Amino acid sequence: METFSDGVIAIAATLLILEISVDTHSANLTHDLLRLWPSYLAYVTSFLTIGIIWMNHHTVVACMASVDRVLLFLNLLLLMTIAFLPFPTRLVAEYLNDPGEQTAVIVYAGTFVLMAVVYNILWRYARTGRRLIREDVPDSRLQAIDRAFHPGVPLYVLTLLVALVSPLASVLLTFAIAAFYLPSAALFER
Amino acid sequence: METFSDGVIAIAATLLILEISVDTHSANLTHDLLRLWPSYLAYVTSFLTIGIIWMNHHTVVACMASVDRVLLFLNLLLLMTIAFLPFPTRLVAEYLNDPGEQTAVIVYAGTFVLMAVVYNILWRYARTGRRLIREDVPDSRLQAIDRAFHPGVPLYVLTLLVALVSPLASVLLTFAIAAFYLPSAALFER
Amino acid sequence: METFSDGVIAIAATLLILEISVDTHSANLTHDLLRLWPSYLAYVTSFLTIGIIWMNHHTVVACMASVDRVLLFLNLLLLMTIAFLPFPTRLVAEYLNDPGEQTAVIVYAGTFVLMAVVYNILWRYARTGRRLIREDVPDSRLQAIDRAFHPGVPLYVLTLLVALVSPLASVLLTFAIAAFYLPSAALFER
Amino acid sequence: METFSDGVIAIAATLLILEISVDTHSANLTHDLLRLWPSYLAYVTSFLTIGIIWMNHHTVVACMASVDRVLLFLNLLLLMTIAFLPFPTRLVAEYLNDPGEQTAVIVYAGTFVLMAVVYNILWRYARTGRRLIREDVPDSRLQAIDRAFHPGVPLYVLTLLVALVSPLASVLLTFAIAAFYLPSAALFER
């Protein structure tokens, strides 16, 4: 399961760059490249977030003794959401700072909310009653992961709400969350 | 063989998102995104189906003691069909609910029929007289896989026939098959 | 080295499908899809050939005890040629049966000639004086690989020459070579 | 960490080819393909450079005993820069020898400067006081890697400066650096 998941996550991250494009025959390339700043912001935000997701995925999988059909289904759902990410990233890249930006950022934030929800369901399914957890994983570690995952859904719901007021602020907050979440990478074990 | 196959399957799944596109300068993005529902349906259906295929592939490979040239050729044929899937997925995404939808869905359903046929040939080749099967795999497991694979071809032929009456119903049925097949994921062993 | 090579080869094979495209709002989709036959021929030919290359790559790598900087460079050159393949494949898909088909097929055949040449250089470098070969690999196996690789360059040069007379015949010959080479897959060991 | 990194690097290299495109209905395909020489130069230069990066990445990772959150973050930053490369490669492919070429090559060279800087920070972080280095790695090996990495930043800054005078010369220099760096592949251990 991990090889396939790793593959999908790495590919989704690398495909993000295909969503940034500049006109083929630009009269003023410097100007056009500067105007693309929403694309760079969207690229960096999505790439970092996918990086965090990948680290968290390893943290979770490393705790598991086995997988069952429910977990496989939840994992497939999670991968489907991650692989979807290049699409809202392109929407933000193209529409931020233009008419339609609110819709674009709502779809972007909504995708992250969905991702965080599926992640939490997956983790709670595996963790409840230590259903799929390895015997040698101490409870303290499970609680550390709990604490790391708790803020995910509320934070992404917040980006969704902020998008209603300021789409740019919402994307910047999503970027900040990726930076904020990075300490949870400390959970990651090689 | 498994790394290469896993790679192709994961990449094909992740490339699906590149087939969904919205106009660059949409006057009404919300409206345009809602009108894209056939794209989302096609994406989810193809992604889930590829997920099932990947699980089944592992189930089959895990039973094998060795591979020979015939099996390698059949596997290559199977991967070629899976890697082809983004093309009919884009056809469904673009043409469902528009003129040409019947052709699009027939190609989509036809690709799944071909995939199911190649899968069954591959499995029967490996299984007949336990040609490539590991000694420690009990007959009961082979029969369980038989039962899981039997409905594949008839079901996808059915989606092909339904496409002649209602293209939308055909895609929804393909989606339902992915959901129906998920229990066979229980065959999957980590 | 093998993981990276496998990755590049699998991705190149799966990207091929992105080179096939149909008009977004086709008035007669069935007609347009039938007219795309050169795309399907190019897809199948390139995919099968990449499949053969992958098998041969494993055969060669499995014989090696170590790699040195020259081999790494030759391998990178080989991967660069393989990763280039989607470009000439698209040329054939778009131009076969249209003006410009000769140029398109010459570039296609030329890419395969280059690939076969680099492959032979790589193999001869590793094999001469058993420079990089594992001690337990018998000479008979090296000679079997020699025999399997010998026809590669002349055959692809032949497709280049045939392209001067008939581009379609050249592509069909390339397809036939992929089918002809498949028996050499027997060299492959899991 | 290595599987994910390998995946991103391999995918970035293979996506480069998608940035080369020729008009769909070219009146004179031979002429148009010859005019694409900046695309081929950009493709080869970027592909070889990514190949070097991949080898260096293995060299570095092979010396490490463990990873911490800082290193994970630096590695993610490095991968983000590598995955960004198809974008400036396309700029060079499209604008070299045309108005806007200076901007295109400055962005291209700037990306390599950034990559070299992040690489050096990552290496120095791991190496200072042998923070993350395996005990059995001798100091002489660390010093060999130091020597191999030292010229990276100055050389890419030079390509940036050359771009101000001659964009073409800058790209050719970048190509030469990839060729010059290849001997450092000797550091690579399978």
Which pLDDT score, from 0 to 100, does residue B126 have? 92
Tokens of A113: 């909310």
Give the residue from D1, D3, D4, D89 with the most A CB atoms within 10 Å of its CB, the best one to mutate.
D4
Residue-level pLDDT at C182: 64
Average pLDDT, chain B: 89
* Distance in angstroms (rounded) separating the CA atoms of residues D79 and D92: 21
Q: Nearest residue on chain B to C178, judged by CA atoms?
A: B73
Q: Are A48 and A178 in contact (CB under 8 A)?
A: yes
pLDDT at site A69: 81
> How many Å lie between the alpha carbon of B190 and the closest alpha carbon of chain A?
7
| Closest C-alpha among A22, A30, A38, A17 to residue D163 | A30
Interface contact flag, D15 A15, Cβ < 8 Å = yes
Question: How distant, in Å, are the alpha carbons of A68, A79, B63, C25, C93 from that of B188?
Answer: 8, 18, 11, 42, 39
Q: What's the rounded mean pLDDT across residues B48-60?
A: 88
pLDDT value of residue B147: 85
The number of beta carbons lying within 10 Å of the beta carbon of residue C140 is 7
CA–CA distances in Å: residue D137 to residues B152, D23, D189: 54, 53, 13
Q: Which of B155-169, C19-33, D115-129 has the lowest mean pLDDT?
A: C19-33
- Mean predicted confidence (pLDDT) in D116-121: 94
Complex prediction ipTM: 0.89
Res. B15: pLDDT tops 90: yes
pLDDT over 70, % of chain D: 95
The answer to whether residues C19 and C49 touch, using CB atoms and an 8 Å cutoff, is no
Task: Report the distance separating Cα A67 and Cα B42, nearest Å.
Answer: 28
Residue D47 parent element (H or E): helix D37-62
Categorize the per-residue pLDDT at B189 as very low, low, confident or very high, splitting at 50, 70 and 90.
very low
Stretch among A15-24, A49-58, A174-183 having the lowest mean pLDDT:
A174-183
Q: Tell me the average pLDDT of chain C.
A: 89
Is there a contact between D58 and D143 (Cβ–Cβ < 8 Å)? Answer: no
CB D32 within 8 A of CB C87: no
Q: What's the whole-number mean pLDDT along residues A91-100?
A: 91
Contact D9 C4 (CB under 8 A): yes
Lookup result for tokens 């990086």: A51
Angstrom distance (rounded) from CA D175 to CA B169: 54
**Would you call D144 exposed, middle or buried from its count of C-beta atoms within 10 A (0-12, 13-18, 19+)?**
middle
DSSP lists the bridge partners of residue C64 as: C133
Average pLDDT over residues A159-177: 95
Average pLDDT over every residue of A185-189: 49
- Residue with the bigger pLDDT between D92 and A26: it is D92
The answer to whether D14 faces chain C, any CB pair under 8 Å, is yes
Tell me what the mean pLDDT of segment B4-16 comes to.
92
Q: Buried (b) or exposed (e) across C95-128, using 16+ Cβ within 10 A?
A: bbeeebbbbbbbbbbbbbbbbbbbbeebbeebbe
Phi-psi region of A97 (alpha: psi -120 to 50; beta: other; left: phi over 0): left
Which of A86, A82, A85, A62 lies closest to A74, judged by CA? A82
Q: Which of A17, A20, A53 to mutate to test the interface with D (most CBs of D within 10 A)?
A: A17
Residues A48, D74 contacting (CB under 8 angstroms): no
Instruction: Give the span between the Cα atoms of B30 and B180, in whole angstroms.
Output: 33
**Confidence at residue B188, expressed as pLDDT on a 0 to 100 scale:** 47
> What CA–CA distance (Å, rounded) separates A45 from A57?
18
Per-residue pLDDT of A119-165, as tens digits, reads: 999 999 999 989 999 999 999 889 888 888 888 899 999 999 999 99
Residue D119 has pLDDT above 60, yes or no: yes
Burial of B114 (0-12, 13-18, 19+ CB in 10 A): middle
* Nearest chain D CA: its distance from C116 CA (Å): 18
Q: What is the pLDDT of residue A183?
A: 55
| Contact between C105 and C94 (Cβ < 8 Å) | no
Residue B172 to residue B177: CA distance in whole angstroms: 9
Q: Is the Cβ of B24 closer than 8 Å to some Cβ of chain A?
A: yes
3-state secondary structure of B96: coil
Integer Cα distance of B25 and B95 in angstroms: 21
Judge contact between D123 and D115, C-beta under 8 A.
no
- Alpha carbon separation from B30 to A103, B23, B36, B81 (Å, rounded): 6, 12, 10, 35
Q: What local confidence, expressed as pLDDT, does residue A86 receive? A: 95
3-state SS track over B47-59 = HHHHHHHHHHHHH
C-beta separation of D167 from D104 below 8 A: yes
CA dist B26 → A95, A98, A101, A123, B162 (Å): 9, 10, 11, 39, 34
State yes or no: pLDDT of C187 exceeds 70. no
Partner residue opposite B185 with nearest CB, options A72, A86, A103: A72
User: Which residues on chain A are in Cβ contact (under 8 Å) with B182?
Assistant: 69, 72-73
